A and B are shown apart, each in its own frame.
Chain A
Amino acid sequence: EDQVTQSPEALRLQEGESSSLNCSYTVSGLRGLFWYRQDPGKGPEFLFTLYSAGEEKEKERLKATLTKKESFLHITAPKPEDSATYLCAVHKTHPSSGTYKYIFGTGTRLKVLA
């Protein structure tokens, strides 16, 4: 069964304390993996797309990496404004019908303390 699992569910960091969030997936026919940031009561904001194992993308204090089974979102020297829920999603295509879908994980709630 196609599945996306994010860990940990919640993470508390001190300002400046670097860490990583994990997104593991069991999806056949992966076409892309996406990271989003979601603030409370708001829609997800797109961060990164990764297409193939070994790929890396960076934006300010965030770096996303991808292997064949999982993706990591590395947060370097986080600040309180990085506090949010980070969502991971994968896209897959049905091999015979060609239909596609995005499968979302449940997210990691990050809290950065000043």
Chain B
Amino acid sequence: DGGITQSPKYLFRKEGQNVTLSCEQNLNHDAMYWYRQDPGQGLRLIYYSQIVNDFQKGDIAEGYSVSREKKESFPLTVTSAQKNPTAFYLCASSISGRPSYEQYFGPGTRLTVT
């Protein structure tokens, strides 16, 4: 079955450590996205990529980094510079970069930093 996988489902880290969240899709979508979801707030865009080897900052990119070396993969690194990293992280993809196409989401990774 086609879809988006994120791993792990739950992740615990100590403050000051970098952590990488995995996102893989087999939908053959060109565009991929990372969002952060906090209680009472809408999804906020961290980074997005329309094609391999290219990505753009979203609204809250500070303290995060990404890479897009393969079409299927778009890992997100939460660095120690991110001041409030505890959140639910969602990866999504869509057909090409055309904006009128809907996004498909993965199951999410809940990151807790103490």
* Closest-CB distance, B76 to chain A (whole angstroms): 14
Q: How large is the interface on B (under 10, 10 to 19, 20 to 34, 35 or more residues)?
A: 20 to 34
Q: Given A4-B42, A87-B43, A107-B42, does the pair A41, B102 have CB atoms closer than 8 Å? A: no
At the interface, is chain B mostly helix, strand, loop or mixed?
loop
Write out the residue numbers on chain A whose beta carbons fall within 8 Å of the beta carbon of B92. 43
Write out the residue numbers on chain A whose beta carbons fall within 8 Å of the beta carbon of B100. 31-32, 49, 51, 91
Contact pick for A106, options B40, B103, B110, CB 8 Å: B40
At the interface, is chain A mostly helix, strand, loop or mixed?
strand
Are A31's CB and B99's CB within 8 A? yes
Write out the residue numbers on chain A whose beta carbons fall within 8 Å of the beta carbon of B106. 43
A55 located at the interface, meaning its Cβ lies under 8 Å from any Cβ of chain B in the complex: no
Give me 25 A-to-B residue pairs in the complex whose CB atoms sit less than 8 angstroms apart, sorted by A's number.
A31-B99, A31-B100, A32-B100, A34-B102, A34-B103, A41-B88, A41-B108, A42-B108, A43-B105, A43-B108, A44-B105, A46-B102, A49-B102, A51-B100, A89-B43, A89-B103, A93-B99, A99-B56, A101-B58, A102-B43, A103-B42, A105-B42, A106-B40, A106-B42, A107-B42
